[in-house]
Amino acid sequence: MRRLEHGFCGYRVPVVPRASRSARGRGPIRKKCEDNQIRAFEILASVAGTVLQETENSVSTNAACVKNPLHVLNANSKRGIECEGRSLKEDARGQGNCDEKSFACVPGLQEHPESYTLNEFSHVQDNQILEVGSASNTCDESEMICFTKKLATVSIKSNCGSSSSRVVGHSLSFGEFSEEKVEAEPHKSRSEISGILPVADSSEDLMELDRESLALVGPESDAKVSLLRDFIDVGTFPRCYDNVKVVSRDDDENSVGCTQPSTISKSYRPPPDIGERRIKKLSASRHGRESQKFKDGKMKQMCCNKRYSHIDDRSQKIYPFKKRKFFSQSPLCTSDEVFHHEGVSDFPDKRNSDNHSAATGASSSVTGQVPPASKGCNVKLSIKSFKVPELFIEIPATATVGLLKRTVMESVTAVLGDGLHVGILLQGKKVRDDSKTLLQTGISQDHKRHNLGFILEPRHEQSNPPSSSEDSSLFSGGTGTPQELSRHSGTSLSNLGSCGESKLNTIPSLADISTGNTLAETQALVAVPAIGMEALAVIPFHRKSHPEFTQRRIRRPFSVSEVEALVQAVEKLGTGRWRDVKLRAFDSAKHRTYVDLKDKWKTLVHTARISPQQRRGEPVPQELLDRVLAAHAYWLQHQTRQQVNNNNDVKD
DNA sequence: TTTAGGG
DNA sequence: CCCTAAA
């Protein structure tokens, strides 16, 4: 009877009011951010699109129909799952993916296979939610738990409009009201809570709905509420934005969203390790990152304890933090027939993929088209879609569609940039060695194409730093591919140590917990299902752009041979013609830019001037250092250009 | 795009 | 290495 309405998913994206953003600052940095976002967006475009759709569906278009949506939601929610399912279905139909059946009925059902994939997204959630609801009917708290789990598993699904709408209201202000209600009507609250997440619509109507639902929930509601509050307090949303009026209580209703703070927060949290600088900058521009982090931290704590935390096992898996939460909760969670349902779900394949994604964080279906070529050939890959860990988006009902889009983009960007890296799966196995070439790995082979998958996962240490190749690359002119690949997938990873492990651990544990029995599922998840064969558009990864997202280039210390080449070139060309130096001595070393050479020269000069004891890294032969000083002094006098001029003058 | 420097 | 102002 009850509906659990939404499940929700993992990451909540806090909706931020644009204003805040603007307030923060606009500077060049900002521009970058936007660019980045865009790029990220491109990458995830499909995903984002999905999300967007979801939000729309679930919420019923925020912008356009704020009110209507709410109504709809209400209707749905009240009626129950079926209604929601239908609505979803409709949407789904439009998309083409969802089956009505799944929605409506099936309690167990599940998710669409690729909920993440753009289209299906919302539908799936609904289904799951529904299921959950049905399943849980009986439950009390335990149910709740189960429920949550389901949600978690389902994660994505929850967004259905109705649910989402409810959820919303939690902002701070929310807390008060929610509590009351909760007490009154416990059952629903849970569901709602769980459901909360998604999109928020925030219209008042929704709020009301939520309330109702909450009331139903009752018992658990308290807990949830508290969570929500915490969440709110923490500034869940805020992460990004000051504005976050979200907090504004008045509008609690509007403020929507709350949700599972924990998951979300984690997801968004940028790993400290990652480009501090950028972060700094960003932070400067953006405000509040610290606060956000802070919030997140709190969130985590808060959330963890609560049942909610269950919600996203998957997501948790992804993030270490969640893991913790998870653990704490795990006992509760265990019961989870519900999960079973999921496992049972109609669409095993899809499910698997979903799970998979959940486990890892995200996966993408890839189609690789490998040119028949032999060694030299380029491997062309088209990534159909990335599955992204759940995203929660809270948006005021009054927000514009444009805002919604941007918000989604931001959230996606944030997730990608801060907490995820791209992993490569080949035949279900992770390819960890970044230094391997595609050929070596087998990615270049046509027939394996199907087996190639990209996943977005939490950062962790990872594989091997590719650094060694430098020397050879320099002179031999290495192939970029492998290196680049490594860069992309692994780049910053090397630095992040602890996280990775924890994550790894988490994943399994989570899987176990969430899925309960089915290892199979887990495994399935692990294996990357090659998703669509259809070639998507080739995707250009433009990861470079986003500062946040952008990973710092891998550090590649100059080898002695490189130093030698550099010195030699500078002796000839002087210090001021770095482009020429690059062309002359490092033309084949793609990873060495003229700026790099200039910087290296700078450091060489410095190195040559300090005592050998103070020098670090691979020792540079004193002979070279001497030449560096000599050349530096020489060219200093000539002043390069001037010299040229002088020479000319002289000649003349 | 390059240079030149500060971070 | 990164980021930028200038050129």
Q: Does residue A386 lie in a domain region?
A: no
Q: Does residue A507 lie in a domain region?
A: no
Nucleotide showing the shortest C1' distance to residue A599 CA: C1
| Residue A160 pLDDT | 31
Evaluate if residue A546 carries a pLDDT over 70: no
Q: Does residue A276 lie in a domain region?
A: yes
Across A67-96, average pLDDT: 30
Å from A210 (CA) to B3 (C1')? 61
Contacts 24+ apart (CB under 8 A), A321-324: A321/A262, A321/A265, A321/A266, A321/A269, A321/A296, A322/A262, A322/A263, A322/A266, A322/A506, A322/A510, A323/A502, A323/A503, A323/A505, A323/A506, A323/A509, A323/A510, A324/A300
Å from A587 (CA) to C7 (C1')? 24
Scanning residues 38 through 57 of protein chain A, those with a beta carbon under 7 Å from any atom of strand C turn out to be none
What is the DSSP secondary-structure string of A129-179? HHHHHHHHTT-SHHHHHHHHHHHHHHGGGGG-HHHHHHHHT-SHHHHHHHH
- Mean pLDDT estimate for chain A: 43
Q: Does residue A493 lie in a domain region?
A: no
Q: Which of A317, A337, A357 is the endpoint of a domain? A: A337
Contact status, residue A496 vs residue A273, Cβ threshold 8 Å = yes
Across A205-230, average pLDDT: 30
pLDDT single digits (tens) A144-179: 322 222 222 222 233 333 333 222 222 222 222 222
Give nucleotides in strand C with any atom < 7 A to a protein C-beta: 1-5
Which of the 8 DSSP states describes residue A576?
T
| Residue A435 pLDDT | 57
Closest CA-bearing residue to C1' of B6: A599
Whole-angstrom Cα distance, residue A88 to residue A90?
Answer: 5
Q: Which of A282, A311, A337 is the endpoint of a domain? A: A337
Between A387-391, A557-561, A564-568, the lowest mean confidence (pLDDT) is in: A387-391
Q: Which of A305, A337, A369 is the endpoint of a domain? A: A337
Closest CA-bearing residue to C1' of B5: A599
Q: Which residues constitute the domain of residue A257?
A: 11-337
Give the pLDDT band (50/70/90) at residue A380: low
Å from A595 (CA) to B5 (C1')? 11
Whole-angstrom Cα distance, residue A429 to residue A351?
Answer: 18
Q: Does residue A588 lie in a domain region?
A: yes
Å from A575 (CA) to B4 (C1')? 11
- The total of structural domains in chain A comes to 2
Nucleotide showing the shortest C1' distance to residue A29 CA: C3
Q: Does residue A596 lie in a domain region?
A: yes
Between A273-287, A441-455, A539-553, A607-621, the lowest mean confidence (pLDDT) is in: A273-287
Footprint of strand B on the protein (CB under 7 A): A 277, 575-580, 594-595, 598-599, 640-641
Across A394-416, average pLDDT: 61
Scanning residues 260 through 289 of protein chain A, those with a beta carbon under 7 Å from any atom of strand C turn out to be 275, 277-278, 281
Q: Does residue A185 lie in a domain region?
A: yes
Scanning residues 332 through 361 of protein chain A, those with a beta carbon under 7 Å from any atom of strand C turn out to be none
Evaluate if residue A427 carries a pLDDT over 70: no
Å from A30 (CA) to C5 (C1')? 17
Nucleotide showing the shortest C1' distance to residue A285 CA: C3
User: Counting runs of H as helices and runs of E as strands, what totals does chain A give?
Assistant: 31, 8
| Residue A520 pLDDT | 29
Q: Does residue A461 lie in a domain region?
A: no
Looking at residue A595, which CATH number applies to its domain? 1.10.246.220
**Regarding predicted confidence, which is higher, A608 or A390?**
A608
Å from A639 (CA) to B2 (C1')? 17
